[in-house]
Amino acid sequence: MTLEHGAPRKSIEAALTAGEDPTRKARSLKSLHQLWAEGACIPEVVRPVVARSWSRAGKLGTDIVPLDTSEIRERRQANEELNGLVELFKERLLSLATQAGNQLVISDGQGFVLWVLGPSAVRRRSDGIGFVAGARWRESDVGTNGIGAAMAERAPVQIFGPEHAREEQHNWVCTSAPVMNPATSALIGTITLAGSFRTAHPHSLALVSSVAREAELFLQTEHELKMQTLQLSTQLPEGEYVLVDVQGSIAAAQGYSVGSKLNLPMSMEEGRNWISGLGSIDARRTPGGWLLQRAEGQVSLQLYAGASLQAIVHSPGGATRINLSAKHWQILELLAANPHGASSGQLASLWPADTPNVTIRAEISRLRSKLRGLIASRPYRIVVPVSSH
């Protein structure tokens, strides 16, 4: 059974066809799992989604150590989007899951299980394999499983019996679907129906897929309402502007050709900023977002390798030449080659391997003082147009 879960979703495939005998299917998969576990190549008959997961995850034997109760509570409270969907998931899935001898499992975007709901008999069995609240079930933690594969594939997945990497999970079927935030494309969580492999059915995959899609449509509607509220609550100027929320989603724009989202600097501050696609702008905080307007007077930076190494700052007031040391020149060259920012590792590569971090940070700080306002941090980047001569 192959399903299409709304464009541009990947094609998804159930582990069993309707009417297929789960016990016979599990028996046939056992030998394929054994070949892979013994180090042979993954057999071609293994479902592609499972073969990809086996290749990514490997055969892991690490212990599962769940978070404690307070950490679980903190993660639930911090994930407002997922929290707002729990009642929807329970309403749509819990009753049907219980009737089918399954439990409903809700995990966050990092793979931590936050809610396990359903029949106590199923929950007792899942306790025995560490499938409990607070446990993390990424592929890199416990090998191939429904949650981890759905996270990696960014698509609904059904993992049946011996398709799981670890043998203690071979009596299970897990049908999982990721829930994405349409506004940010971020994974906010995964919903899973889990139970005995004998309860496997292709309809389970269709069900979790449709509920995940419903949740995403709910998030999209919530986002649109939030954008409308942001626009109505902000006094907009008459000239050119862009109004965005704190994630960079655009609520309103005038005089700019923009899409639906901007990549805001991680260390966005009020005042002069440089934003790809907009250029030099003045940013002003508004409740729930930022009002961005074109900065008065454009500023640019030119790297000049003449008789001496110089940075030339061009502004409406003229050109200012700043002499640079060889190290400061190297830093600026690296930042110019990485307009979205350079990592600490990239910057550290400009020094000998045993150079203390405090020395590196001090040198960068001195350069930022020379070019005050033109180099941002976290990550370090040049916030005005830059050229070389």
pLDDT, tens digit (0-9, with 9 covering 90-100), for 158-192: 999 999 999 999 999 999 999 999 988 899 999 99
Residue 1 pLDDT: 40
Residue 2 pLDDT: 40
Q: Are 151 and 52 in contact (CB under 8 A)?
A: no
Return the beta strands (E) in 263-308 as ranges. 271-275, 279-286, 289-294, 300-305
State how far the Cα of 303 lies from the Cα of 9, in Å rounded to an integer. 45
Beta-ladder partners of 381: 376
Structure tokens at 142: 């416990």
Compute the residue count for the chain. 389
State how far the Cα of 248 lies from the Cα of 231, in Å rounded to an integer. 14
Q: Which residues of 198-225 are buried (b: 16+ CB within 10 A; e: fewer)?
A: ebbbbebbbbbbbbbbebbebbeeebee
Comparing 2 with 114, the larger pLDDT belongs to 114
Average pLDDT for residues 126-131, to the nearest whole number?
Answer: 92
Alpha helices in 165-244 (DSSP H): 202-233
Mean pLDDT of the chain: 89
Structure tokens at 229: 């509220």
Structure tokens at 255: 């005089």
Residue type, 281: I
Comparing 156 with 58, the larger pLDDT belongs to 156
The answer to whether the pTM exceeds 0.75 is no
Any idea which residue has 């009753």 for tokens? 95
Structure tokens at 149: 């594969």
